[in-house]
Amino acid sequence: MDQTNDKPLVNRVANSGLITINLEEFFPKEELLPFDLKDYLFKELILKEKDFRAALKEHNWEQYQGKNLAIFCSADAIIPVWAYMLVAAAATPFANSIFQGDETTFYEVAFQNALADFDAAPYEGKRLIIKGCSNKPVPPSAYVDLTTKLQPVAQSIMYGEPCSTVPVFKRPRKLK
């Protein structure tokens, strides 16, 4: 019998003391729905107030119940501020949150807000991995924000998966 097969398997990753932080845990729980003002423009150029108000009255606002709403305009048009305000006023009784901007910007701000309350103290002196693969659109800015919060306290920060990481930061050893 080969002696190499007699040795028990050891999970070196589990025994390494590495702590993985998954930014997906900070992802907004509620679905995000878009509201594109382009659909309400006359010839994709201008917004006619009377027509816009009429269209908003006919719009099904209940579809935003408990969801996040992102109000933006994908057309290259000048949108008056009151247009965003009218959509917000109509959606407020239904939507969980209302945001002016596109989906990418919504997620950047949502992560920025979630990480503002992130307590880095429990990670003091720890070796950390910020999980890289994600099933949700975690913006690069979230990785930047988390790194800047953790760097003052962490022993090391890596990016990726425990089996394949990229070193990001390592605290220099103190001379004795």
- Give tens-digit pLDDT for 7-61: 654 444 444 689 999 999 999 999 999 999 999 999 888 999 999 999 999 999 9
Q: Per the structure block, which two tokens stand in for 80?
A: 């008056």
The 10s digit of each residue's pLDDT in 77-129 is: 999 999 999 999 999 999 999 999 999 999 999 999 999 999 999 999 999 99
Q: Per the structure block, which two tokens stand in for 22?
A: 């998954």
H-helix or E-strand containing 143?
helix 140-150
Decide: 89 and 98 in contact? Cβ < 8 Å. Answer: no
Q: Render the burial of 77-101: b for 16+ CB within 10 Å, e for the rest.
A: eebeeebbebbbebbeebbeebbbe
List the strands of the sheet with 156-161, edge to edge: 18-21, 127-131, 156-161, 164-170
